[in-house]
Amino acid sequence: MARPPRLRDLARAARAVRRRGRTRPATGPRPTATLVALRRGPSGDLRLDITVDTVTAGGRAIGELRLRDGLDLVPFALARADRTDRGALLVGHLDPQTLEQLPEGTYDVSVTLLAPGAGRRLARVAVATDAPLATLPLVEPYATAHGNLSLRRRRGRVLDPGAVGQVAAVTDARSADPALAAALPDLAARLRTALGATDVGYHLPTPSTARFDHLVPGLGVSIDVSVGDGAWQVTARPRERTSARFLRNTLVGAARMVRQEGTEVHHVTAAGGAVPVATPAADALLADRLLALVDRFRSFLDAGPRPEEHGFVPAQWWDAKPNFGDVLGPLLVQELTGRPAINVRSFPSEDPGLFTVGSIAAHLDRPGARIWGSGLIGTLSTAKAQHLADRRPRSIHAVRGERTRAALRDELGWEVPEVYGDPALLLPRFYTPRPSSRTAGRIALVPHYMHLDLLPDLPDEVAVVDVRQGPEEVVDQIVGARACVSSSLHGLVLAQAYGVPWTWLRVGEKTLHGDTFKFEDFFTTLDRDAVPFLDVSAEELASTSWSAVAGGSRVPASRFDAERLLAAFPEV
């Protein structure tokens, strides 16, 4: 594996000492190394503060990352900084270039003490109980079951191509919108001062937009500042798949996500209110908006294994693909607690999290979770039941429907209260929609993302609602329509919640995982006999009379007790 040039001497020295160590064993007691802090530096690096109980006079130390179950060994320099009550303090840096070159996998962290004539002493680095553990989007430090430090390197680019060194400068500033050109120097100066950066380079993708690519080093996110309708607009967009997932997790309730030309774009000012251009305080307000966004990103990255101590609610939701229904859970958690939810699927957490909206009750990956309103996606196979038996939740407060309760109770023997309801039914209490003009007087067709490629050319009376957008955008479009036809479960749930007549659509050739189970589970909380149902093939979609379907749509009578579901929400 290629290493940065400045590490070659360390690697050569470490190999030489190992060879000598086979014939010249170290003498004396085994050293103890302890991580007292791991922090993220301003350039996207990781700084490790490590104490060792003994360092021989004239000796030196080398840090090592060893790939678990592999042969890769990556050394890094350790400099002696000071003496503490725990021993000698050594400081090491893992720069973005080194982290970029690490293959995917788990690395154990050790310290090798080198002493003239005494061989080497190797110590695994333990993690102090009070040590802060910062993370990067693709590099996750954690304490093992034995209390030692390891790093998990996930697949993806730590660095953006071309991000090394000076960031892009302004291109053709003469073409910029006058208001933007006038504001940029002051805005850049405020950002440099607040972030302690020598440069916050930006470029102009359009005359009315300035793009900042590196306000958070190592994070593949672009933040755009643009002028439109007399106000400043701030949006965040990912530059690759990993950062897209990061934004979907960190901007729940803080931005409206829409799709523009296949890209997920998060409108931050839509959530925080417009910043007028022609006001004396506009520059300061705009800088504050950008800095608040950077602080939000950093707070997630720095939350560590106990995010609840940093003001987060550990929760779990499916985030592998953009899908409005999966985001409804963390959105409701934030509304109910006043604290943002952090997804323990994507960020380290000792707490297994709170499971809420979605067919995720069988996604338990460790014991001790809590369930409030989740459902199963299908019947439990023998293998799945055995898997879940070892991952019993700490408590179940409510489930989506009677089918989920019966499966968890009868097949696993778990205690499940008779408290039912998809928590998304509560959304009208917290979100007042702005009915979309796009769907006004039309039929909102809400296909599951698996059905998007099956849609034929549709008449003008049908407006397709893309489920790969944020929940606010989807709700606004459903509420603006005269009827909703959906093969997405949460298209039906939200239509029911907001009183929009709906019809359940099933496309025969491409059935969803679990087929009808999750729908029938939800239907146990309403009048099942009143559910309108359209079961067609993909070919029949082209000849469907959508007006007739809309005419038969309805809002079935509810058997859902909202107050009981709310009362069952756990203390978190």
Which pLDDT value is given to residue 220?
84
SS3 annotation, 203-225:
EEEECCEEEECCCCCCCCEEEEE
Rounded to whole angstroms, the Cα distance separating 499 from 512 reads 25
Question: For residues 212 and 216, what is the distance between their CA atoms, to the nearest angstrom?
Answer: 10
In the predicted model, is pLDDT for residue 332 greater than 80? yes
Q: What is the mean pLDDT of the chain?
A: 86
Reported as a pLDDT band with limits 50, 70 and 90, residue 360 is very high
Domain ranges of the chain: 5-153, 173-301, 307-424, 425-551
pLDDT band at 136 (very low <50, low <70, confident <90, very high): confident
pLDDT for 55: 58
Look at residue 184 in the predicted model and tell me its pLDDT.
87
Summarize pLDDT for 82-108 with one digit per residue, the tens.
776 667 888 988 887 788 788 888 999
Q: Give residue 177's pLDDT.
A: 86
pLDDT at 562 over 90: yes
State the burial class of residue 393 (Cβ atoms within 10 Å of its Cβ: 0-12, 13-18, 19+): buried
- Residue in 515, 534, 526 with CA at minimum distance from that of residue 462: 534
pTM summary value: 0.72
Distance separating alpha carbons of residues 212 and 209, to the nearest angstrom: 10
At 458, is the pLDDT very low, low, confident or very high (cuts 50, 70, 90)?
very high
Predicted confidence (pLDDT) per residue in 374-408, tens digit: 999 999 999 999 999 999 999 999 999 999 999 99
C-beta atoms surrounding 244 within 10 Å:
20
Asked whether the beta carbons of 46 and 38 are under 8 A apart, the reply is: yes
Under a CB-based contact definition with an 8 Å cutoff, are residues 68 and 106 in contact? yes
Q: Spelled out in words, what is the top-level CATH class assigned to the domain 5-153?
A: mainly beta
Predicted confidence (pLDDT) per residue in 258-316, tens digit? 998 888 999 997 666 778 887 777 888 889 999 999 999 999 999 999 999 999 999 99
Q: What is the mean pLDDT of residues 515-520?
A: 96
pLDDT tens figures, 65-78: 988 876 678 888 88
Q: Which CATH class is domain 425-551?
A: alpha beta
Consecutive H or E run containing 23: helix 8-23
Does domain 173-301 correspond to CATH entry 3.30.1460?
A: yes
